[in-house]
Structure 1
Amino acid sequence: MLGHVKDSSAKRPALLARLKGRGRRGEVVFIALSALAALTLVALVLLMVYELTVTALPSLQRFGAGFIGATTWDPVNEQFGALTAIYGTLVTSFLAMVIAVPLSVGAAVFLAELAPHGVRDAASFLIELLAAVPSVIYGLWGLFVLVPLVKHPLEAFLGDYLGFLPLFQGPRFGVGMLAGGIILAIMVLPIVTATARDIIRMVPDSQKEAMLALGATRWETIWKVVLPYARSGITGAIILGLGRALGETMAVTMVIGNAPIISASLFSPAHTMASQVASEFAEATGRLYISSLIEIGLLLLGITLVVNVLARLLVWKSTGGSRTGEAV
């Protein structure tokens, strides 16, 4: 019996050594696979940029930097410029953020600080559900419901009472930059709201309790403590929503009118960078025509990449490096 115990004791270090060796090999394999997955994602992005650049090369060589500032889009004579698409993208995205930001921040404050538990859970679920709705569904809703409402009564009201402003002059089609901006605002609302809500929840309770202990009201605490503390994260959430607005395709394509026009009127049809590529690429003929559309896509990729990286950095900074701000 004693011999058996001695044999077991002698074998134990060898067994532990074998298990330790297997653990190290498993850890090495895990690290290698994780690194391979990360490098694969980076390689895919670099490959995408490379392919877009190579395909856009004829347009880059033909038009150079002048492509960005040119307004002509004439496939017949092979004269192309991106300014009309850039203009439509910037106007609709700016309009979307003007509409969405106050509503999103207000909703985020309500959900994080004021709403009862049951209301908060139900509203948060609905908001996150809206973020998952496909853009084509938004586009169909916009085409059949929003566009008629924009034409009458919204454009009619704005034209009748604010028609002295260039923004609200011109024919009232329903489709145009105003409809595009509204549909984008609806689409970015869930993203900005959910991210800003999570940022506001990161504000330490000690900060709020100290303010309340000094006799401040709930509103004063939110205005003077919560919002300033979460400012950079909320800014990141807004920029994240802007990135979504800049790159949105189907919904905008269905309500903006798709016309290469630069107009001061929000009633005017226009097109965005994404909608132009989506609506014309299938019918594009000729190497230069296709190359010009690809160059627009390359420009859009660069813009959205910069915007999203900036947004992630701001959210990460506000949350102290946690993942909470990236819930959506």
Structure 2
Amino acid sequence: MFFNLSRGSGILLLVVMAAIAGFLAYRSSIALSGNTGNFLTTFEWTPDAAEPKFGIAVLVFGTLVSALIAMVIAVPIAVGIALFISHYAPRRIAQPFAYLVDLLAAVPSIVYGLWGVLFLVPHMDGLSSWMDQYLSWTYIFDQTKSGVPPRTLFTVGILLAIMILPIITAVSREVFRQVPRMHEEAALALGATRWEMIRTAVLPFGRPGIISASMLGLGRALGETIAVATVLSTNSILSLHLLDPGGGTFAQNIALKFNEAQPFGRDALMASGLVLFVITLLVNGAARLIIARRKEYSGANS
């Protein structure tokens, strides 16, 4: 009975996923059939105009870049916090600290959004000016629009990093706690320092877990809506200058324009939702492939 229930649950999940994909594909086909622009390369988003023209170029760029910035910032910090809690901090400090980090995951997105627009954005001027002064040679940190609030993809990336930090930290911490005690003691007995023990015993064991935690965080970063919509200043300009206002993401675009969209415009938003759906599936599939290639590490199958 348990086997049949488990198998039925798995089949039901596949049916639900297929139903979502089918619904999005059907509504997308209606929108794409009336689109006068190139869906992949057009920057504009005017599906309700006399001649509908819309594309996802700006949305793809904004979604991937903001998520990438969040991952670059959050993953090293989250792994460091997880190691500190599990292997460095005394128990009387580790427990409250872990609870505090976990508490961040319970904060609603709208609270992060309000904090971002009222506190983070006004205080990004100094950092943006410093990066423009010393890192403008990289082109992507060259600020060409001065005197405007830094409601940019870079600011959104920092906000998303804070939001996904507790997810990655919590999963990584639990994985590090599962490292066999004998492995750690054997490394220490051979004369390894605590960091050498972590580098040779803990991190190899926990690498699949770190990848899984990172993919969970990336999934939230890709689909975050309210916080991004509150902070980011949207436009239809695709700019590689990350310190300039503008850009957009899939989830933000759907949230801001769904209520005011006409029936055809909603079909266009469904088409963009289908692309986000596919991107999420590809990201999770890539994570599973990476983990499968590391089965030689102890605990990778779990």
Fold equivalence (TM over 0.5): yes
Letter in 1 for 2:136: G
Which deviates further from its counterpart, 44-53 or 307-316? 307-316
Residue 232 of structure 1 and its aligned partner are, at CA, apart by 2.5
Residue 254 of structure 1 and its aligned partner are, at CA, apart by 0.9
CA distance in 1, matches of 2:217, 2:130: 29
Quote the residue 1:51 is aligned against.
Answer: 23
How many residues were matched structurally?
Answer: 292
Which deviates further from its counterpart, 310-319 or 74-83? 310-319
- Contact 1:236 / 1:314 at 8 angstroms: preserved in 2? no
- Classify 1:128/1:245 alpha carbon distance in 2 versus 1 (closer, same or farther; 3 Å): same
Alignment of 1:13-92 (within 5 A): 28=1, 36-62=8-34, 66-75=38-47, 76=49, 77-92=51-66
Quote the residue 1:158 is aligned against.
Answer: 131
Alignment of 1:189-268 (within 5 A): 189-268=165-244
Residue 128 of structure 1 and its aligned partner are, at CA, apart by 1.6
Residue 157 of structure 1 and its aligned partner are, at CA, apart by 2.1
Matched, 1:299 2:275: yes
Letter in 1 for 2:261: A
Alignment of 1:105-184 (within 5 A): 105-150=79-124, 152-166=125-139, 167-171=141-145, 172-184=148-160
Quote the residue 1:186 is aligned against.
Answer: 162
CA distance in 1, matches of 2:60, 2:222: 10
Letter in 2 for 1:281: F
Residue 37 of structure 1 and its aligned partner are, at CA, apart by 4.7
Q: Deviations over 1:251-284 (max 9, x none)?
A: 1111111222211111222111111111111111
Residue 180 of structure 1 and its aligned partner are, at CA, apart by 0.6
Residue 94 of structure 1 and its aligned partner are, at CA, apart by 0.7
Unmatched runs of 5 consecutive residues or more in structure 2: none
Residue 42 of structure 1 and its aligned partner are, at CA, apart by 3.3
Which deviates further from its counterpart, 172-181 or 66-75? 66-75
Matched, 1:271 2:271: no
Letter in 2 for 1:107: I
Residue 64 of structure 1 and its aligned partner are, at CA, apart by 11
Quote the residue 1:22 is aligned against.
Answer: none
Letter in 2 for 1:285: Q
Say which structure is richer in helix: 1
Residue 141 of structure 1 and its aligned partner are, at CA, apart by 0.9
Letter in 2 for 1:153: G
Which deviates further from its counterpart, 112-121 or 31-40? 31-40
- Contact 1:237 / 1:315 at 8 angstroms: preserved in 2? no
Quote the residue 2:72 is aligned against.
Answer: 98
Letter in 1 for 2:113: G
Q: Deviations over 1:152-202 (max 9, x none)?
A: 222122223333442231224221111110110001101111111112222
Residue 118 of structure 1 and its aligned partner are, at CA, apart by 1.8
CA distance in 1, matches of 2:277, 2:257: 18
Unmatched runs of 5 consecutive residues or more in structure 1: 1-27, 323-328
- Contact 1:96 / 1:184 at 8 angstroms: preserved in 2? yes
- Contact 1:258 / 1:275 at 8 angstroms: preserved in 2? no
CA distance in 2, matches of 1:277, 1:205: 49
**Percent of aligned pairs with the same residue?**
40
**Over the residues paired in the alignment, what is the CA RMSD in angstroms?**
2.4
- Contact 2:74 / 2:164 at 8 angstroms: preserved in 1? yes
SS of equivalent to 2:283? helix
Letter in 1 for 2:248: H
TM-score normalised by the chain length of structure 2: 0.88
Residue 210 of structure 1 and its aligned partner are, at CA, apart by 1.1
Residue 297 of structure 1 and its aligned partner are, at CA, apart by 0.4
TM-score normalised by the chain length of structure 1: 0.81
CA distance in 2, matches of 1:136, 1:298: 24
